[in-house]
Structure 1
Amino acid sequence: MVDIATRVWNHKWKIDPIVRSLIDTDFYKLLMCQSVFRNKPDTQVTFSLINRSKSIRLADLIDEGELREQLDHIQSLSLSRGESTWLRGNTFYGKRQMFRPDFMEWFENMRLPDYHLEKRDGQYELTFEGSWPEVMLWEIPALSVLMELRGRAVLNDMKRFELQVLYARAMTKLWGKIEQLQKVEGLRVADFGTRRRHSFLWQDWAVQAMVEGLGDSFTGTSNCLIAKNRDLEAIGTNAHELPMVYSALAQDDAQLAQAPYEVLSDWQEEHEGNLRIILPDTYGTEGFLKRAPDWLAGWTGIRIDSGDPATGAEVAIQWWKDRGEDPTQKLVIFSDGLDADKIIELQQQFADRVRVGFGWGTMLTNDFVGLSKDDALAPFSLVCKAVSANGRSTVKLSDNPRKAMGADGEIERYKRVFGVGEQQEMDVLV
């Protein structure tokens, strides 16, 4: 096992690049990329970094030269033979050859496109433009780089024994959470923490701790490289990006209203079983389910990623009942702002009513809260989103209006089309 504190103390980034592989990314990104490659390959999109935590002035903390060096390194990456063999031949969700030969041939020859970087008001403006299948693969690496460089800026000022104590405390803190979860009967939890992790080495350590501490209750990791290296299940389905871009491509309000369902129709043609998970909150969960076609009720489950999680689960349960489905046979995956206490609470609340799963993110892979001076290592809310498609603004409404994004006029239009009324604001922790 890597001595992380010593590795940080002796740090040279060429030994420990922040992103060390094109598959050092979330599994859902590759699944979505294949769907986009098949259905919308010529769509031109722009992704942009968005720092929701304005008090964290990234451009004051992170050296621009070092950031460019890391981004340039990512652009140099290509699939290794072993990575390609793993993707082509491994079994994912019980299915062999999840990735089609035409997609794999493209992916094996793909290099990430150029980026645009500048400083503005203490923040970095980082954007990526180009064809959707290529540009979308920048999201997770870009977030990983910014999160880790911010952490490295703090760690660089710490002495050797300070680093040893810091990581010992962080390990103790995480292991304490694992001991809490060991007592939970029927628990099913996966690592969803790549995008806002403390570092690659720390995420890898956290995953190994989950494997040893939780055994079969730990279902796998969203990180493809760690899944490959540790012989674990790669976990993930789809994300808000798909309906956001499909909706931006709609020519009128009628097409806009149908766009979120067109996404899932395309998805259904490719996937079955546990990959058929609905993410309903992009434009409001209640309205999405109310207007949903009957065939969606037959899908395996729902992922709840914004708003009050218990309320979201209750809405889903009632929807399944109204559509003649048995909720006890359906899967509800909670994935927003989780920590051990909330996981335990939701498990106890819903274990007898649905099949429950958890995607545990930032507070698994980046909980250094209270462990550094001025809490300088505490996680913060950083995202990288598709902000336009073929020149049109994308929009996300969410079940939490504090997560909404898009041009003001378009947000109001989307609220009208999707019938979104008053919403309860909730703090965006990470």
Structure 2
Amino acid sequence: MADIASRVYDHKWKIDPIVRSLIDTDFYKLLMCQSVFRNRPGTQVTFSLINRSRKIRMADLVDEGELREQLDYLRTLSLSRGESTWLRGNMFYGKRQMFRPDFMEWFEGFRLPPYHLERRDGQYELTFEGDWPDVMMWEIPALAVLMELRSRAVLKDMGRFELQVLYARAMTRLWEKVERLRASGATPRIADFGTRRRHSFLWQDWCVQAMMEGLGSSFTGTSNCLIAMRRDIEAIGTNAHELPMVYAALADSDEELRQAPYRVLADWQEEHEGNLRIILPDTYGTAGFLERAPDWLASWTGIRIDSGDPVEGAETAIAWWKSRGEDPREKLVIFSDGLDVETILSLQARFAGRVKVSFGWGTLLTNDFRGLVAGDGLAPFSLVCKAVSANGRATVKLSDNPMKAMGPAAEIERYKRVFRVGAQVARPVMV
């Protein structure tokens, strides 16, 4: 096991690059990339870094030269033979050859495309433009680089013993969370979803190993492909808001716009079955999405709840399944928004026996250093990298939480009209 404090104290980035592999990314990103490669390969998409926590002035914290070095290093990475063998031959979600030969041939020759970086008003403007399959692969590593450079900036003046104590306290905090989960009696099923806002790669890897030992079979895997491969555990993930956002932007009429989220899932259904058939309904409002959903979607395995009130979201899903003649007890609800132990245990207790429950635990698993340094300089914050346009048209996300909405104001209003989204309740966005 790595001595993280010593590595942080001694590190030179060329020895410890922040992202060390093209598969140091989330599994859902590879699944979505294959879907895009098959269905919409020539779509021109722009991704952009968005800091929702504007009080964190990233350009004042993170040195531009270091950031460019890390981004340039990322562009030298290619798939190794071992990584290719793992992707081609491993069993994912009970299926061998999850990745098609034509996609793997493309990925084996893939390099990340150019980026554009500017400083403005204390923030970095970081964008990626090009063919959708190419530029979408920047999202997770770009976020991981920014998050870890921020961590390194805060820790750079700490001494060796101060770092040892800091990491000992952080390790103790995580282990206390593990003990509380074990003491609950019915240990929830949890996966690591923490790659995009992790404290560092080494810390995420440590957290995964701690969860493996502490929770045993209740720890179901990690979204991080590199860690899944190295630790011989399940790679976890399905699909994300990116797909409906881009499909919607490409729509030529209001009716096509209304149907875009279902077109995404129709394409997905052609490739995947079982536990990969998970609906993410909140891009343009969960209630309206389910109300208008075609009957074939009710047979899917489950729903992921990623914004809004999680209790309300799960109750809405249960009622919808019942209205479509499905038994909710045979369905899966995955909670994945802003989770920590208290929320996990509360949701587990409320829905146990009514529906199958699982949790995708993100930032507060892999980046909970709150209060451990002076000024709370390592507190988590909300940094995202989103598709902001497709073929020159702006993308829009409404979400079940208006604090997560994005897009031009006029387009947001149009989407609210088309998808019949009424008044929404704003909830704080920590991560």
Contact 2:46–2:128 (Cα < 8 Å) also in 1: yes
1:302 matched to 2:334: no
1:348 matched to 2:330: no
Question: Structure 2: which amino acid aligns with 1:195?
Answer: R
* In structure 2, C-alpha distance between the alignment counterparts of 1:186 and 1:382, rounded to whole Å: 30
* In structure 2, C-alpha distance between the alignment counterparts of 1:276 and 1:186, rounded to whole Å: 24
Matched with 1:402 is 403
* In structure 2, C-alpha distance between the alignment counterparts of 1:104 and 1:421, rounded to whole Å: 43
Matched with 1:111 is 111
Question: Structure 2: which amino acid aligns with 1:380?
Answer: F
1:263-274 aligned at under 5 Å gives the runs 263-274=264-275
CA-to-partner distance for each residue in 1:7-48, whole Å, 9 max, x for gaps? 001011011100000000000000000000000000000000
Matched with 1:13 is 13
Matched with 1:152 is 152
CA-to-partner distance for each residue in 1:119-158, whole Å, 9 max, x for gaps? 0000000000000001000000000000000010011011
Question: Structure 1: which amino acid aligns with 2:264?
Answer: V
Question: Structure 2: which amino acid aligns with 1:113?
Answer: P
- Where 1:14 maps in the other structure, the secondary structure is coil
- Where 2:430 maps in the other structure, the secondary structure is coil
1:384-395 aligned at under 5 Å gives the runs 384-395=385-396
* In structure 2, C-alpha distance between the alignment counterparts of 1:108 and 1:424, rounded to whole Å: 45
1:24-173 aligned at under 5 Å gives the runs 24-173=24-173
Matched with 2:360 is 359
* In structure 1, C-alpha distance between the alignment counterparts of 2:353 and 2:274, rounded to whole Å: 21
- Where 1:265 maps in the other structure, the secondary structure is helix
Matched with 2:322 is 321
CA-to-partner distance for each residue in 1:358-410, whole Å, 9 max, x for gaps? 00000000000010010001111000000000000000000000000001110
Matched with 1:211 is 212
Question: Structure 2: which amino acid aligns with 1:144?
Answer: A
* In structure 2, C-alpha distance between the alignment counterparts of 1:105 and 1:248, rounded to whole Å: 29
* In structure 1, C-alpha distance between the alignment counterparts of 2:54 and 2:396, rounded to whole Å: 21
Contact 2:45–2:387 (Cα < 8 Å) also in 1: yes
Question: Structure 1: which amino acid aligns with 2:46?
Answer: T
Matched with 1:280 is 281
* In structure 2, C-alpha distance between the alignment counterparts of 1:328 and 1:183, rounded to whole Å: 25
* In structure 1, C-alpha distance between the alignment counterparts of 2:135 and 2:46, rounded to whole Å: 7
RMSD: 0.5
* In structure 2, C-alpha distance between the alignment counterparts of 1:378 and 1:262, rounded to whole Å: 39
1:225-264 aligned at under 5 Å gives the runs 225-264=226-265
* In structure 1, C-alpha distance between the alignment counterparts of 2:334 and 2:119, rounded to whole Å: 38
Contact 2:331–2:355 (Cα < 8 Å) also in 1: yes
Matched with 1:194 is 195
* In structure 1, C-alpha distance between the alignment counterparts of 2:136 and 2:166, rounded to whole Å: 35
Question: Structure 1: which amino acid aligns with 2:142?
Answer: A
Runs of 4+ in 1 over 6 A off after TM superposition: none
Question: Structure 1: which amino acid aligns with 2:214?
Answer: G
| Structure 2: gaps spanning 5 or more residues | none
* In structure 2, C-alpha distance between the alignment counterparts of 1:303 and 1:11, rounded to whole Å: 38
Note the C-alpha offset of 1:187: 1.6
CA-to-partner distance for each residue in 1:331-381, whole Å, 9 max, x for gaps? 000000000111000000001100000000000000000100100011110
Note the C-alpha offset of 1:186: 4.9
* In structure 1, C-alpha distance between the alignment counterparts of 2:304 and 2:212, rounded to whole Å: 23
CA-to-partner distance for each residue in 1:290-347, whole Å, 9 max, x for gaps? 0000000000000000000000000000000000000000000000000011100000
Q: Percent identity?
A: 79
Contact 2:181–2:187 (Cα < 8 Å) also in 1: no
Matched with 1:414 is 415
Indicate the larger mover: 175-184 or 116-125.
175-184
* In structure 1, C-alpha distance between the alignment counterparts of 2:275 and 2:353, rounded to whole Å: 20
Note the C-alpha offset of 1:159: 1.1
| Structure 1: gaps spanning 5 or more residues | none
Indicate the larger mover: 402-411 or 182-191.
182-191
Question: Structure 2: which amino acid aligns with 1:85?
Answer: T
Question: Structure 2: which amino acid aligns with 1:12?
Answer: K
- Where 2:20 maps in the other structure, the secondary structure is coil
Note the C-alpha offset of 1:183: 2.3
* In structure 1, C-alpha distance between the alignment counterparts of 2:259 and 2:40, rounded to whole Å: 16
1:381 matched to 2:354: no
- Where 1:357 maps in the other structure, the secondary structure is strand
* In structure 1, C-alpha distance between the alignment counterparts of 2:9 and 2:411, rounded to whole Å: 48
Question: Structure 2: which amino acid aligns with 1:111?
Answer: R
